[in-house]
Amino acid sequence: MSIDQTTVVKIAHLARLKIPTEEQKQVAGELNKILEWITQLDEVDVTAVEPMSSVNDVPLRWRDDIVTDGDKMADIMTNAPAKTADFFTVPKVVE
Amino acid sequence: MSDLTDISVTEALVGLAGKKFSAVELAKAHIAAMESARALNAFITETPKLAMKQAIESDARRAAGRAGAMDGIPLGIKDLYCTKDVRTTAASHILGEFTPTYESTVTQKLFDAGCVMLGKTNLDEFAMGSSNITSYFGPAISPWSGKDPVKANRKLVPGGSSGGSSAAVAGRFAMAATGTDTGGSIRQPASFTGIVGMKPTYGRCSRWGIVAFASSLDQAGPMTRTVADAALMLRVMAGFDSKDSTSVDQAVPDFVTALGTSIKGMKIGIPREYRIDGISAEIDNLWQKGAAMLRDAGAEIVEISLPHTKYSLAVYYIIAPAEASSNLARYDGVRYGLRVPGENLINMYENTRAEGFGKEVRRRILIGTYVLSAGYYDAYYLKAQKVRRCIRNDFEEAFKKCDAILTPTAPSTAFAIGEKQDDPIQMYLNDVFTVPLNLVGLPGISVPVGLGSDGLPLGLQLIGRAFDEMTLFKAASALEKAANFNHKPPFMAGT
């Protein structure tokens, strides 16, 4: 499973990261080196091993379904790079 | 250097209580030290005005008999903790001038205990690194310099990612500092700079308000000059928080009571597989010396086996980037931070993220996106999660035979800025001894034990059972006492 330039373009787009054409080959090389190093995991027999996604095996806590926070519009807008009144603004998305 | 900047937190609290000096005097001495140490680039943002205000309030509380557990202690806060009304950068360009309107749970707890904030310390961008070199604000520099001819004339790294914190604490311009540890980011810089670094059990400290890197691995912890200070500070930082769903509702013991108690009969495990290829004779000797110190203090040394440890780094470099690629998706230039214009919305996202993230962060986002993408998820991500469980099973078996485990903290002393930068994998290997703990959530502490032949500090790591930091502090305090590490860096602020 080796990454070529097309794959770099694809995953870069999935990650919404612009990678200039002249850098794509180099990036592919770097990623391949890391993935090659990772293939050492193929040595491990994981038949019948359950995947572990968290160190806490306990189910997540429940809490009452009540509002505990809110009314923070001013706080939320404080760091906006561009806004109009109480709205974040972005480039036009609807023609 | 004033006497006030060379004392420990524990000593400072005695001095404050005995009216030998005030919190204002302590803050002033540290602010002057911090300003004199700017060449080390350990702080991204200095907050001297806030520090003075907090120090005045601290003196007032003490006069009124209401002093908290760490009242008046001047700290560096890693710039990954959100601090209300103080710019928080994660050492990334993408956060721009982001200024939180809220306080992280851990910093709030420290302030509630009376701590004084000197400023926000430097780190690797989004805590991704082992050198502090990837910071958008430039590398932090170690107060140490080696006598090795290659290193003597070069600036050394303070380790990473909590490099500004380690440099400031070792260089005597913060009395202690907060760190965060996702793969070794508290313990490795502690080892590189001759200080104590403690990563508690996952779930012990709230992650709320700390910029997320890899949520199943991230933990906050103290960086201090003594084990006693780490015990004191962790007690303040720890505790259940309903705002972090992985925070664990367990009583926080008074860790300080563990210090100096006998370790007679304690079983210390030495994992045979940690003698990895390429470990230097020097590190190996120090490790054996450390084991002998604990044996002389009454512990029993037992050999244990952690056969899957060698896969930890490979597992880590799938899981951490996968979680990071997901966590960092929020930086899109819409709601906060940097925005780079584009002809449409997608272009704006892509331009913002390309310009806002540094090279290492981009590399990890791409790896993470790849291992989570359709067709590769099972081969990489799921496989890594399964090996992760094998690593945990190893530790469970090992802890049937011992109470704590002793290993080196890092495979070498500090390297120079510019070294190991061409090959990411060489850099990743720094964390070979520290990463397994994050994968399984166990607590670990690095204690400075000696100097290498190049004159630079080396630490040893003790690993404990989940939520058994008491045993860890007990063993660490015995190791600290026996090692009697009293070397100081050539650079000490204000001298």
Neighbours of B243 (CB within 10 A): 13
Q: Which domains does chain B possess?
A: 2-259 (3.90.1300.10)
* pLDDT > 90? residue A57: no
- Cβ-based contacts of A2 with chain B (< 8 Å): none
Instruction: Report CB contact under 8 Å: A41, B369.
Output: no
User: Which residues make Cβ contacts (< 8 Å) with residue B443, sequence separation at least 6?
Assistant: B198, B199, B200, B201, B204, B437, B463, B464, B466, B467, B468, B469, B472
Burial zone of B119 (CB within 10 Å; 0-12 exposed, 13-18 middle, 19+ buried): buried
Q: Which residue has the tokens 């440099």?
A: B167
Q: pLDDT tens string for chain B (495 positions)?
A: 568 999 999 999 999 999 999 999 999 999 999 999 999 999 999 999 999 999 999 999 999 999 999 999 999 999 999 999 999 999 999 999 999 999 999 999 999 999 999 999 999 999 999 999 999 999 999 999 987 766 667 899 999 999 999 999 999 999 999 999 999 999 999 999 999 999 999 999 999 999 999 999 999 999 999 999 999 999 999 999 999 999 999 999 999 999 999 999 999 999 988 876 667 889 999 999 999 999 999 999 999 999 999 999 999 999 999 999 999 999 999 999 999 999 999 999 999 999 999 999 999 999 999 999 989 999 999 999 999 999 999 999 999 999 999 999 999 999 999 887 777 787 888 899 999 999 999 999 999 999 999 999 999 999 999 999 999 999 999 999 999 999 999 999 976
Beta bridge partners of A84: A87
> Measured between CA atoms, how close is A42 to chain B, in angstroms?
9
- Cβ-based contacts of B315 with chain A (< 8 Å): 41
- Cβ-based contacts of B383 with chain A (< 8 Å): 41, 46
Q: What span, in angstroms and rounded, lies between the C-alpha atoms of B144 and B155? A: 9
Query: Which of A7, A44, A55 shows the shortest C-beta gap to B387?
Result: A44
Q: Is the peptide bond before B161 cis (omega within 30 degrees of 0)?
A: yes
Q: What is the per-residue pLDDT for A92?
A: 87
Nearest to B42 by CA among B186, B152, B162: B162
Looking at this predicted complex, what is its ipTM? 0.95
Q: Which residue has the tokens 């590398």?
A: B139
Q: Which helix (H) or strand (E) holds B453?
A: none
Query: Which of B336, B373, B425 shows the shortest C-beta gap to A37?
Result: B425
Query: Which of B315, B317, B370 shows the shortest C-beta gap to A3?
Result: B370
Query: Which of A30, A40, A88 shows the shortest C-beta gap to B311?
Result: A40
Q: What is the CB-side half-sphere exposure of residue A74 using CA atoms within 13 A?
A: 0
- Cβ-based contacts of B344 with chain A (< 8 Å): 91-93
> Measured between CA atoms, how close is A70 to chain B, in angstroms?
13
Q: What is the per-residue pLDDT for B276?
A: 67
**Is the torsion defined by CA of B447, B449, B453, B455 positive or negative?**
positive
Query: Which of A7, A41, A93 shows the shortest C-beta gap to B315?
Result: A41
Burial zone of A53 (CB within 10 Å; 0-12 exposed, 13-18 middle, 19+ buried): middle
Q: Which helix (H) or strand (E) holds B214?
A: none
Best A7, A17, A24 member to test B by mutation, with max B CBs in 10 Å, is: A17
Query: Which of A17, A41, A72 shows the shortest C-beta gap to B366?
Result: A17
Q: What span, in angstroms and rounded, lies between the C-alpha atoms of B339 and A81? A: 6
B468 in Cβ contact with B402 (< 8 Å): no
Supply φ then ψ for residue B176, to 5 degrees.
-165, 170
Instruction: Report CB contact under 8 Å: B311, A50.
Output: no
What's the pLDDT band for A93 if we cut at 50, 70, 90?
Answer: confident
Is residue B185 part of the annotated active site? The answer reads yes
User: Which residues make Cβ contacts (< 8 Å) with residue B3, sequence separation at least 6?
Assistant: none
The one catalytic residue in B2, B22, B78, B206 is: B78
Instruction: Report CB contact under 8 Å: B385, A54.
Output: no
Q: Which domains does chain A possess?
A: 5-42 (1.10.20)
Q: What is the per-residue pLDDT for B278?
A: 65
Instruction: Report CB contact under 8 Å: B344, A91.
Output: yes
State the Cα angle at B357 between B354 and B360, rounded to 5°.
110
Q: What is the per-residue pLDDT for B154?
A: 83
What residues 28-67 of chain A have any CB closer than 8 A to a CB of chain B? 30-31, 33-35, 37-38, 40-41, 43-44, 46, 49-56, 60-61, 63
* Chain B contact for A24 (CB, 8 A cutoff): no
Q: Which residue has the tokens 């009376």?
A: B114
* Chain B contact for A23 (CB, 8 A cutoff): no
B424 in Cβ contact with B320 (< 8 Å): no
Instruction: Report CB contact under 8 Å: B333, A81.
Output: yes
Closest Cα in chain B to A13:
B350
* pLDDT > 80? residue A76: yes
Radius of gyration of chain B (CA): 21
State the Cα angle at B180 between B319 and B285, rounded to 5°.
85
- Cβ-based contacts of B465 with chain A (< 8 Å): none
Is residue B161 part of the annotated active site? The answer reads yes
Is residue B78 part of the annotated active site? The answer reads yes
Nearest to B373 by CA among A85, A13, A74: A13
Q: What is the per-residue pLDDT for A88?
A: 96
> Measured between CA atoms, how close is B85 to chain A, in angstroms?
11
Size of interface A-B (CB pairs under 8 A): 157
Closest Cα in chain B to A10:
B370
Instruction: Report CB contact under 8 Å: A37, B373.
Output: no
**Residue B266 to residues B249, B285, B403, B404: CA-CA distances in angstroms?**
27, 22, 6, 8
Instruction: Report CB contact under 8 Å: A75, B102.
Output: yes
* Chain B contact for A8 (CB, 8 A cutoff): yes
Closest Cα in chain B to A52:
B385
Q: What is the per-residue pLDDT for B150?
A: 66
